[in-house]
Amino acid sequence: MSAWRPLADSLSPEMRHLTVELRVMKDRTGLSLGQLAKKTACSKSAWSRYLNGQALAPYAVVAALGALADADQARLRALWELAAEAGGRAGEGSYAASGDGSRVDEEHDAEPTRPLGVVRGPSPMRRWLAIFAIGITVVAIGLVVAVVTGAISRPVASPAEPRTPTPVGSCQARDCTGRAAEPLGCDRDAVVTASVQVDYARLELRYSPVCRAAWGVLAGARRYDRVNITGDGGAEAKGKDRTGSAAATPMVAAAGPEVGYACAELTSGARKCVGAGR
């Protein structure tokens, strides 16, 4: 196992958690930095920064190391997104396209590289264990942030009733089908996987890595505009705008961000779809 240097005290809890996870996976592979650089198309100097918490690794690099260490990719994705949000999503831009279409690090040291491997899907048992671990981590991080920012303070006169936020991942996959995302906390880690302008409205396909569910949102909608979502196994959910501002569908199960598509049908007659195969 490598003798790692201590991480900086100034590192955010989310970035520290991801960096420690990278170190554990690197130790698990038994690879040197040079060997790891060749297998992941990322230079040794870049890996040194990522493994010491000096920069946020692009998700493609994190996923490649996860594949070598046989790690749970759903858990890695959630950890990376928390770190990216805390650090301003600084890591995605450090990859550029090479002449043969593969992606390589902009600071690559001219070593030979190989394409990133195909990521193997996690087993159901490991996926559930990862979701549980992420839930515990989110609660712990929330308490640390509350103490540091002074959110936990002396009560003031006539305090409002405290509201406990819904934990991320109150449902998963098929348990989420047909249910709204926000009350179950699935919107808290959601990412927009695809979007398109439909006349006067904006159609978005959203996905929660922790809940493993997708849903459609039609922003700027008018009354009676419609939006629907299709996910795993052809499962569908529909939504209609009734207020003249926005419409959203219930969730459908989706194994990954590349699964599913959403369609919008406006009262103006405009219709478009976005997502996988659309």
> Can you name the residues that pair with 94 across neighbouring β-strands?
none
- Which pLDDT value is given to residue 260? 82
Q: What is the mean pLDDT of residues 82-111?
A: 46
Q: What share of the chain is helix, strand, coil (3-state, %, to 5)?
A: 35, 20, 45
Tokens 């040197």: give the residue: 32
pLDDT at 47: 96
Burial class (CB in 10 A: 0-12, 13-18, 19+), 276: middle
Does the pLDDT value for residue 115 go beyond 50?
Answer: no
Cβ 249 vs Cβ 228: under 8 Å: yes
What does the CA dihedral 130, 28, 39, 128 come to, rounded to 10 degrees? Answer: -10
218-240 per-position pLDDT tens digit: 888 888 889 999 988 888 889 88
Closest CA to 249 of 188, 175, 181, 199: 181
- Spatial distance between the Cα atoms of 19 and 82, rounded to a whole number of angstroms: 12
DSSP codes, 187-236: GGG-EEEEEEEETTEEEEEEEETTTTEEEEEEET--TT-EEEEE-GGG-E
Would you state the pLDDT for residue 242? 81
Please give the pLDDT value at position 270.
93
Q: Residue 21: what pLDDT?
A: 96
pLDDT at 109 over 60: no
Cα(262)–Cα(215) distance, rounded to whole angstroms? 8
Give me the chain's average pLDDT, please: 78
Q: What are the pLDDT digits (tens) for 31-58?
A: 999 999 999 889 999 999 999 999 999 9
| Dist CA 94 CA 103 (whole Å) | 10
Query: Residue 102's pLDDT is what?
Result: 32
Alpha carbon of 144 to those of 139, 149, 164, 165: distances in Å? Answer: 9, 9, 16, 16
Find the mean pLDDT for residues 108-124.
40
Q: Which of 15-19, 132-136, 169-173 has the highest mean pLDDT?
A: 15-19
The closest of 168, 193, 194, 192 to 181, measured between CA atoms, is 168
Strand pairing category for 236-240 and 261-265: unpaired
Q: Is the pLDDT of residue 278 over 60?
A: yes
All residues at 6 or more sequence positions from 50 whose CB lies less than 8 Å from its CB, including other chains: 19, 22, 56, 57, 61
What pTM does this model have? Answer: 0.42
